């Protein structure tokens, strides 16, 4: 419920601070006095967009703050989802700066207008004669029916199941699409994979093959040069080995004479040993070489296979070909296993549907039982509001399709006159009739669920006499379970409020401002008398006003 409202620098309101109690609160005042400004300020507080025209003094910011008691509204999950601090007494503030920039806060935490609007819908429900089309929507009609049928637990279970069903159906579609796409490529992928498998590729083999090929293709030149190298080293006439041996012998004889000579002798000795080792390796390499045309052809063919595969797959290494082979293996395997995956998920979908059908039937049974009661209560309330011939014709049919709140189609037809044709509400009900239907529905809902604060904005337009009394009684009954505001021109409703406020204008320093005043008993009598008889208050009007107030 709305505990207090503070408004600064908004339209004709310079500064306003007001507190509210529970129950029925009536707001009265002449036409044009500024009642709409209060609704405008509340609208901004609850997330509506603002502009600079909302600011009274363009040099200062406009500020609107409301304190709400939300303990009974079960809003902790909302605060957790929005990452906000929960307080049973929550403060909402909206600021419009002179620059036109708007800021919003919930318990001093900055929030977006979207978050503010979500919370606002849970805190205050504003109804005017021009805002009653909601009652004509199927979603709202189901909401009312479900409040009476107490299907909340089943509907939450159904919604969880429906969410899971949609997830699984999406997975099925993706698998079917993948299967269709992969099936097109399956044969080609299998062919490419077989080629790569038959090639029996090994990491690093390309470099080895290329080296072997270069050796075999140039074997005669290699043999010739290796043979010449061996001759240079070991020739008996002028071989490098003999010459180096002579040099080694010469230096070894003078090595003892100095350290430098000893170092030179050792170095030559090392070179001689290395040369002997090289010569041995040259001879071994020469002996191992043998022209082999068959091996050359074999290596050449192997290289050709690898190069052809590299060209086909636009890669430059065997490692990349091996990676492609692994990818193809995965694709081919996935294609072959997709059928099993699809069968498995289809089985899951059928199980979920079966469970959803069970819950939907439970919901249907509860709704079917509650629907006649809803119609009966609505017709009874409407009769008391002067619509004695108003009747409804309803039907609730199970469908095959899974809808957001069950598997039913609700038909909610209305006739205002005896023998009149039934039709959907938005086509056959007038604005005044819709207003009364809405207030009747809210009165029923208030008995079955915790509603937010309701503000009726002149929803009683066109009502008078005994019907006005009935409407006032209805609002009083509702106010036992929730906070109800009624902006009204009817003295019967004004008098029924546990508290009454008057909106009026006054001139202050050549400036017109809007005020909101809590009326005491004497003020209320005069205000109600004026609503009955006009500005010239008569004794009979005062008497009537006292009677209404004390009745």
The length of the chain in residues reads 551
Instruction: Count Cβ atoms below 10 Å from residue 314 Cβ, excluding itself.
Output: 8
Q: What is the pLDDT of residues 536-549, one digit of tens each?
A: 888 899 999 999 98
1-129+435-519: what fold? Rossmann fold (3.40.50)
* Lowest-confidence region among 286-300, 383-397, 411-425: 286-300
Task: Dihedral sign for Cα 273, 274, 275, 280, please.
Answer: positive
3-class DSSP state of 492: helix
Q: In which band, very low, low, confident or very high, does the pLDDT at 132 lie, cut at 50, 70 and 90? A: low
Residues 6+ apart with CB under 8 A from 262: 255, 256
- Closest among 209, 217, 210, 225 to 285, alpha carbons compared: 225
Q: For the stretch 71-81, what's the b/e string if a residue is b when 16 or more beta carbons lie within 10 angstroms of its beta carbon?
A: eebebeebbee
Phi, psi of 430 (to 5 degrees): -75, 170
Judge contact between 310 and 265, C-beta under 8 A.
Answer: no
Tokens of residue 47, six digits: 């997330």
Q: What is the pLDDT of residues 24-83, one digit of tens each?
A: 999 998 877 778 888 889 989 998 887 777 788 888 899 999 999 999 888 999 999 999
- Closest among 348, 430, 464 to 130, alpha carbons compared: 430
Rounded CA separation 173/327 (Å): 23
pLDDT surpassing 70 at residue 267:
yes
3-class DSSP state of 155: helix
pTM of the model: 0.68
Amino acid 428: pLDDT: 87
3-class DSSP state of 82: coil
pLDDT surpassing 80 at residue 455:
yes
Amino acid 121: pLDDT: 87
Tokens of residue 211, six digits: 């080296």
Domain ranges of the chain: 1-129+435-519, 176-337, 520-551
pLDDT surpassing 70 at residue 143:
yes
């Amino acid at each position: 419920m709305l505990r207090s409202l503070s408004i600064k620098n908004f339209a004709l309101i310079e500064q306003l601070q007001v507190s509210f109690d529970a129950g029925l609160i009536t707001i009265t005042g002449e036409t044009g006095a500024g009642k709409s400004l209060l609704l405008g300020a509340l609208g901004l507080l609850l997330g509506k967009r603002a502009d600079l025209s909302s600011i009274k003094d363009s040099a200062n910011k406009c500020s609107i703050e409301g304190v709400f008691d939300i303990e009974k509204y079960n809003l902790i999950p909302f605060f957790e989802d929005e990452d906000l601090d929960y307080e049973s007494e929550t403060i909402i503030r909206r600021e419009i700066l002179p620059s036109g920039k708007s800021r919003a806060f919930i318990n001093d935490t900055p929030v977006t207008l979207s978050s503010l609007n979500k919370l606002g819908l849970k805190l205050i429900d504003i109804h005017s004669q021009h805002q009653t089309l909601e009652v004509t929507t199927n979603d709202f009609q189901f909401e009312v029916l479900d409040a009476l049928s107490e299907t909340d637990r089943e509907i939450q279970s159904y919604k969880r199941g429906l969410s899971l069903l949609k997830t699984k159906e999406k997975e099925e579609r993706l698998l079917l699409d993948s299967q269709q796409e992969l099936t097109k490529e399956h044969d080609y992928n299998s062919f490419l994979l077989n080629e790569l498998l038959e090639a029996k590729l090994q990491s690093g083999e390309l470099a080895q093959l290329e080296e072997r090929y270069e050796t075999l293709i140039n074997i005669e030149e290699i043999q010739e040069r290796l043979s010449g190298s061996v001759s240079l080293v070991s020739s008996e006439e002028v071989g490098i080995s003999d010459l180096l041996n002579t040099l080694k012998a010469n230096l070894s004889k003078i090595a003892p004479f100095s350290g430098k000579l000893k170092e030179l002798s050792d170095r030559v000795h090392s070179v001689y040993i290395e040369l002997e080792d090289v010569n041995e390796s040259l001879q071994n390499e020469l002996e191992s070489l043998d022209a082999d045309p068959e091996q050359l052809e074999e290596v050449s063919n192997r290289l050709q296979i690898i190069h052809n595969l590299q060209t086909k797959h636009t890669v430059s290494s065997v490692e990349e070909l091996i990676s492609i082979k692994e990818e193809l293996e995965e694709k081919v395997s996935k294609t072959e296993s997709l059928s099993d995956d699809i069968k498995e998920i289809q089985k899951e979908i059928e199980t979920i549907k079966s469970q959803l059908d069970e819950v939907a039937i439970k919901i249907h049974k509860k709704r079917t039982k509650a629907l006649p009661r809803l119609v009966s209560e609505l017709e009874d309330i409407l009769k008391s509001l002067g619509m004695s011939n108003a009747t409804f014709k309803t039907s609730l049919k199970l469908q095959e399709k899974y809808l957001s709140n069950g598997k039913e189609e609700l038909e909610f037809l209305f006739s205002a006159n005896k023998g009149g044709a039934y039709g959907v509400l938005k086509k056959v009900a007038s604005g005044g009739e819709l207003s009364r239907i809405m207030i009747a529905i809210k009165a029923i809902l208030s008995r079955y669920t915790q509603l937010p604060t309701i503000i009726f904005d002149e929803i009683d337009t066109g009502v008078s006499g005994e019907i006005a009394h009935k409407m006032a009684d209805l609002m009083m009954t509702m106010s036992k379970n929730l906070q109800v505001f009624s902006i009204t021109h009817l003295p019967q409703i004004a008098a029924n409020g546990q508290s009454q406020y008057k909106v009026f204008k006054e001139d202050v320093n050549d400036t017109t401002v809007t005020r909101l005043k809590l009326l005491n008993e004497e003020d209320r009598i005069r205000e109600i008398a004026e609503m009955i008889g006009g500005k010239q208050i008569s004794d009979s009007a005062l008497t009537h006003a006292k009677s209404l107030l004390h009745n």
